[in-house]
Chains A and B, each alone.
Chain A
Amino acid sequence: MRILLALLPLAAAPLSVVADSSASSPGEGIYRRGLLPSGRPLRGERASATAVEGPLAACVNCHRRSGLGASEGRILIPPITARYLFGVRARNAGEPGMPGMETPGLERPRFTEATLARAIREGVGSDGRRFDELMPHYALDDSSMAVLIAYLRQLSSDRVPGVSDERIEFATIITPDSDPIQRKGMLEVLDTFFANKNVFFREKSPPLQSSHNIHYRIVRKWKLHVWQLAGSPESWEQQLHQRLRAEPVFAVISGLGGKTWAPVHRFCEAESLPCLFPNVDLPVVAEDDFYPVYFSKGVLLEAQLLAGRLAQKARAAGLHHVVQVYRSGDIGAAAAHELRAGLAAQGIEIVDRPLAAAAKSQTLSEAVNNVQASDALILWMRPKDLQALPPSPPPGALVFASGLMGGLERAPLPTNWRASTDVTYPFDLPDDRRLRMDFPLRWFKIRQIEMVDERVQTDTFVACGILAEVLAPMLDNFVRDHLLERLETMLSARTRNGYYPRLGLGPGQRFASKGGYLVHFADVQGPKVVADGEWIVP
């Protein structure tokens, strides 16, 4: 039996309030942070449990940032934007009276400001029914109530850029320092996926219709804008803001980075633009940011995998020294920094040997040779540098190499290095993912897409699939925050995830795959790898 949470009626508050639309406003303070305009914490009482205060009492927890509610288990948390509370037609939605989403019971009486305030204070709906016990009672004074209601009036009501009756516009962002081969492969996948999506679209689609609560989903054409950045990273944010003004899009999908993605991440967060699953091995880790979403923490995850293994070795086998070799200015530097942080207070001395970008192979040889037996040597290196390693590793040293940077099972380690090198592998092993990979590989084959970089192209394909699946049930509710909320909910149910054994998010989570293996090569040559231990989640 479904438990319905009735909407909040409006009590006998003062007259109608002006919509509150400024960012970080008092209304947002109540809604998102549980902070009253007076500075005191919001307090919610529940009959069956203790009161909640402050952030735990905030509306956002259940009704979400978009105000469009959520479903959790058997509980449906209803939307509380103006459209659903007062029946006000939002500029981003279809016909009035069209819920545009799968929430039932929206034919219930609309609230007035009077009945809404009563609902918030006393937990009684506009139809006189009591709310589910999950919904607290909030003893707000009249002025706080007015502030909150003003906030709800404007929540998720703006016209959403990049969406029309016929089209949804997306962008993909490519940095100038990204790999041109990967770029080609990724764009081919994106173009083909978008073309395929649009192939059954012949004419302007009819407006969203409803008959007896059965909603016919509109099919809109997808359009891809390729935003190729140029110049130095300091100029990228400005370029992106200009692009967005000229080509408004609903969300950013996939994309390709090189040495840094930070300006793109900042841009997306600043513009409240979902930025979904770029192909980057060095993402930005910012726990409170909402809009950028990544497959994993990339080389930072690899560093954490290594930190765990090295800490074990320190305890068990007396490892004391770690040497890290990487090119300055490349992502290995950030990975080395992360490993250093992960090994703090382990009693291990860590020596970093950064190589200048133009340093020759002799410098590389010196950097890797001067390593004692039973020390650990960490190679944060691209294939080119792996190929330039001296013929043999330093005797007795434990060698670890970044799989992401080096090419995973195709990392071109010299033969004599293969036997003693462990490679970080933040994916399912090739044999274990063979069945799951059948799906994208067949798709590439049928669509005659040239395989130039299996990982990037598969990740791109998976990202497109995720985008299609998260948008489909949104019907006409193109609200960017809601896209991310839905993504949080639906992702862990997916199984066709390419290289990843699992993808999953939750409220506030932005890295979908959380672990990896340490592997070594099974043979003197060839791509077969064997895991040293189980899947590790640092």
Chain B
Amino acid sequence: MNFFESIKIAAASLWARKTRSALSILGIVVGILTVASLLSVALGVKQKVTTSIESLGSNLVAVVPGKIEKGGTPNFFAQLGASTLTEQDYDAIREAAPEAKNVAMAMLVTGTVRAGDTSLNSAIIFAASPGIEQAFNVRREEGRFLDTVDETQRAHTVVLGAIAAKQLFPAGSALNKTIDIRGEGFTVVGVLEAVVSASGFGGPDVNSFVMMPLRTGWDLTGTKQVFRIMMQASDAESISVLADKVKQTLLGTHRGEEDFSVLTQEDLLGFVNNIFDILTAMLSAIAAISLFVGGIGIMNIMLVSVSERTREIGIRKAVGATRGAILLQFLVESVMLTFLGGIIAIALFIAGIPIAKARVPSLPIELNVQVLLLALGFSALVGIIFGIVPAYRASQKHPIEALRAE
């Protein structure tokens, strides 16, 4: 008996027990649907974050306080507390690496932003030296960027991110309006274009920015904190050279103590990949449990089927079926059940994507051929794993005892 023959027999057998077959694949449909959905969402989120990091700015090199081990997951706690970076570091970098473009330093200012009766708690008050906009690769919607005049005059001027501007001034343009930060008045001189957020991965959420000159920030807080030094390499090839030069320079200013990290976009993408590897592993584990439950259902139904069809097994053996032929027949039945479940699940998944996107527009779920093939492969694998024991039992039945079975 060849494989094609087994498929024909299995199909006929499953068709003869239509209702039971349909019910038994429900578990697999749910399992495969879970696998496809979770992996697609994980890949979608990863894609989104990767895109946002890539949009941070081309050839970006960032210095952050605290030591972050590359190749692992980022230790965000390393960046908490008082910054280890200083203005001297900034000056040292400018001197040692004149080829670095748009070198800028920045700090965070805590406080609430108000515009009349509207207050904004989610704003990121960012004090930065000129050049930060270019380093972040952001564009103006209206007005101007902060410049050296603002910086030297310690001006009370701000540039707002797109979301911050809209939240503070929902009725119209924010330009030339006055806002209040920590009791002091600031004039809005520019509004940024909305960008894809890269918050959480070394990149700030530019949309929520309320950006003031660095020295104004120092005055406002009474401290001279520097929590980021950003710059751009002249081209992609010189990123690592610049990063290394910056690192060596700062080791000099920090007396050999590496209490800072020089990050490139590649490093950030590496962090993202590591985080998503963990996330994918977790989601895979959840999906595996779901598939396991479905698989147990298949195993159960196949064991019942073998038990009910003992006489059929006896008849087949009496007319010349080998153990291998019986094993193959029941294994093919099991795989056919789960594979069919996989196909139904994928059809439902594909049909469900537009519905899910319509209901939750921000859901980053994408149709990914690799995920679909993986899901189909898993469905077949579940059929083999959970079908092998019933199939083996069937194949081992003694022909006479099988024939005498009721």
User: Do these two chains interact?
Assistant: no
Which residues does B use to contact A, with CB under 8 Å? none
